Amino acid sequence: MTDTDERDDAALVAAVLAGDQRAFTQLMRRHKDSLYRFVRGYVGDSSEAYDLVQEAFVAAWHALPRYDRQRSFGIWLKRIAINKCRDWRRRRAVREFFYKAEDINRPGLDIAQPIVSANEHEDDLAWLDNAIAVLPSTLKEPLLLSLTEDMSHRDIAEALGLTAKAVEVRIYRAKRALAASLEIGR
């Protein structure tokens, strides 16, 4: 078959590995929207999400020879994106620590009081994005894969290396955490 639009993901991967770079473009077209929705939900920022999606595709390109064609390409790609999001979160935490650092010798500094961000979310969607973004990754990842990608608990379990029951429990806990956050934050 020569039309890449009709080949499944495994066939496209085989074509890429055989030297057909256009097949990878087709894989990107197939998965970019889904991947963007997931990453956007994870990080809560559209421009950061765009960059992380690009990083995920670059990493997928380099790791393609290690892809197991018996497994879902979409799940494999989301696993790469999750790792990119975790890296981003770690880098961001380090940057925030240094940006928010205060001079400890400054007169009037009360180190017992947390530094509050000046950025206030004005609409409900921004608030929800933020509430999801601050969830621990153990709760956020299954929730986003379930809500934004409509993945089954079994597929999420495969992507995250968990059991389906663990996914179910984590999604339940994430929803409870969001509900509690809604009660406190509103």
Any residues with CB less than 8 A from the CB of 14 and at least 6 apart, and which? 69
Residue 9 · residue 30 · CB < 8 Å: yes
Query: Which pair of structure tokens corresponds to residue 91?
Result: 């880098």
pTM: 0.62
Confidence tier at 125 by pLDDT (50, 70, 90)? low
User: Residue 144: CA atoms inside 13 Å, Cβ hemisphere, count?
Assistant: 32
- Look at residue 57 and tell me whether its pLDDT is greater than 80: yes
The chain-wide mean pLDDT, for the chain, equals 80
Q: What is the pLDDT of residue 107?
A: 53
